[in-house]
Chain A
Amino acid sequence: MAARERVVLTAAGVVTPIGQDLEAFWSSLVTGASGISQIERVPVADLRVQRGGEVKKLGRIKDWRGVPDCRASRLLIAAADDLCSQAAFRPLPLDPARVGVVVGTALGGVEEGEKALAGDRGRRRLPDALYDAPGWNLARWLGARGPVITVSTACASGATALAVGADLLRSGEADAVVAGGYDALSRFVLRGFDALRSLTRDEVRPFDRRRSGLLLGEAGALGLLVRERDARGPRLGTVLGYGSASDGFHIAAPEPEGRGLERAVRAALADAGVSATDIDLVSAHGTATLLNDRIETAALKRALGRRAHEIPINSIKGSLGHTMGAAAALEAFMCLLSAQRGLIPPTLHLEESDPECDLDYVPGQARAARPRLMLSTSMGFGGCNGALVLEAA
């Protein structure tokens, strides 16, 4: 069988609660900064938990003319602006018909639907409420005329988008793909998670004995993918493999043994053509819910065997909250930056170990290390499990 085309990530752009460009994001992660604050943009007074990882002011772009007044679209476009400033990608340096866009989201433009149902008769509110609208708005802003794909594998969406983007390149349908994920904080999702009692009033403490739930965050995270043979200049790393698997267990709760996540990890390793012993770093989903962290730990132990006890495993959700559709893309970028910078960000607010979470979760402060192969795991509503294997540049 012919060797599979390698796909590399040449640049990334982000907008997050801890920084509105890749450098600020990275600096905040390694210094242990927190992006959690009182939510101000939407009314939360009636909710049990009123904090989250909110981006207070989208400061990157001064002139939003021509861009819909849609928070989700603007998060995406702000992340794209960061990407384009690094990669000189706007105006597009290649045939627009050969540039694809693949974005992952759990919520799409649902906030536009909220506004429309509240009586806002704005011409674009309803069309932008469809979950694929922000992806098309991004393509329009970029000037991309190639395939535009929206995936919605819940909180694994960002990983799925990077994998689908890599497939578009391998199939020859595009020569460059802007891929990643996004989601905005809205009353819709805040009320939903509040009702599920998944949110904590404490800090987000992944893998900590005292962990009591997650906080939501908002973000946009996009990477520029190209085939390795077409790549010029610097690169962040390679998307080596991807695996997915359904739990087939419950619409909201993870399967108690983490079998779905285990299958996804095994599939990703197989897709990448590597073994568990090759993995040097795991970016865990690590939401800090009681169930997630215990189940994820068990799944990683089974999928990676002894290697799970030998390597660092971190979660960045203590810093910025659970950014849903953006989470897996941000975590993938964190992995690649760790390799590039030789530093692994800590798991913020992890202070007391849990006997059921007994792996090395990088507590305290950033750790010097230069991983070569990294695994990023994701779990989402509906039993969506995804895993990415990434290789350092």
Chain B
Amino acid sequence: MRAPAIRALGVLSGAESATRATSPARSADRGSAGAISGPPQMKSLKKETVDPRILTLARPDRPGDRFRRATRECLLALAAVDAMLEDGKTSREAIAGERTALLYVTAAAYGASNREFIERRGGVMHFAYTAPAVVPAEVAIEFGVVGAYGILIGGAPATLRAVEQAARLLEAGTCDRALVLVVEIFEECADLYARHRRFYRWPLVETAACLWLERGAGVLAFESARGGRRGRGAAREGERFAAGPLADLRDWRARGSPGPLELSGQWRGEYARLHWSPEISHARGSAA
């Protein structure tokens, strides 16, 4: 399959905020996050956390009444797209329209809103926000992205599969650009993860990322198999679930993009690998 070119990447990571502090109740800092400023460093949204084993991202501030009830995962998704646009040095108009596909992946970001709705903790949680589909919906609404879409639930292999799916959509001419959006948050369910801590590699690193792909010239190979191998990124920095591959991609770019690029990850015993050929290309100029 023809490999897509990487146009831009935005990654917000709890690891960069480096706030493993133990602090008062998490509700105290709701809405206290600073504004996002951008890539390539993409200063993470600092937040203190009640659980030192979770590296968290704060709820971003976003002006507008529309976002009054938006969930943290939705706002982080928007922030990741903002960061991606900054990385690409372009404006939101460049991704608007029906020629942009949007693929969203998460293993567990919906856990926070599901829990809030079940426990009525917020009291006013809009039921629709419990659906994973609402995270990419907020991106679609905010940035006018109305092309093909897909939503995969799972860990790192699902993200690699989404990149492959994006490559397929680009190759088929279904879209001119494809965004792969990943959000993972953990803090609201920290106690639940702690009950099953043996399943995860700690710390859990909250991450929101968006990858912009366009048609490219290299070759992309995807493979998956059942087996227990772990991806490098997860071993190095903690567990990011579906967001691991995009964090690895960010690191690869930070190292000067030494080709070839290989992204990998595992989830529930499935190991997946995505290999970009050495001809990996970075799209240049306007995406319009």
Contact = CB atoms under 8 A, between A and B. Distances in A.
Nearest to B148: A244
A249 B118 contact: no
A131 B115 contact: no
Nearest to B107: A130
Contact of A249 (B131, B141, B161): B141
A257 to B, nearest CB: 12
Contacts of B253: none
B87 interface: no
B127 A193 contact: yes
Contacts of B149: 153, 244-246, 384
Interface stretch (B4-12, B43-51, B192-200, B210-218): B192-200
A152 B132 contact: yes
Interface string B100-120: 001000011011001101110
Contacts of B117: 188, 192
A297 to B, nearest CB: 21
Most buried by A among B129, B132, B192: B132
Contacts of A248: 137, 140-141, 144-146
Interface in B180-236: 192, 195-196, 199, 224-226
A263 B174 CA distance: 12
A267 B169 CA distance: 12
Interface string B120-142: 00000011111111111110110
A165 B192 CA distance: 32
Contacts of A132: 107, 153-154, 158, 268
A247 B140 contact: yes
Contacts of B174: 267, 271
B147 interface: yes
B147 A153 contact: no
B275 interface: no
B249 interface: no
B136 A382 contact: yes
A147 B119 contact: no
B137 A263 contact: no
Contact of B161 (A149, A152, A153, A245): A149
A358 to B, nearest CB: 27
Contacts of B152: 149-152
Nearest to A123: B196
Contacts of B135: 382
A116 B98 contact: no
Contacts of A212: none
A150 B141 contact: no
B150 interface: yes
B134 A126 contact: no
A97 interface: yes
A382 B150 contact: no
Contacts of A113: 111, 114-115, 118
B138 A145 contact: no
Interface in A349-368: none
A154 B108 contact: no
Interface of A: 97, 105-106, 108, 110, 113-114, 116-117, 126-127, 129-132, 136, 145, 147-154, 160, 164, 167, 171, 173, 188, 191-193, 195-196, 243-252, 259-260, 263, 267, 271, 380-384
Interface of B: 98, 102, 107-108, 110-111, 114-115, 117-119, 126-138, 140-141, 144-154, 158, 161, 165, 168, 174, 192, 195-196, 199, 224-226, 268, 270
30 contacts: A97-B225, A108-B153, A110-B114, A113-B115, A116-B192, A127-B196, A127-B199, A132-B158, A132-B268, A136-B268, A148-B268, A151-B153, A152-B133, A152-B151, A152-B153, A153-B133, A153-B150, A154-B131, A160-B151, A188-B117, A246-B146, A246-B147, A246-B149, A247-B137, A248-B137, A382-B131, A382-B134, A382-B135, A383-B137, A384-B149
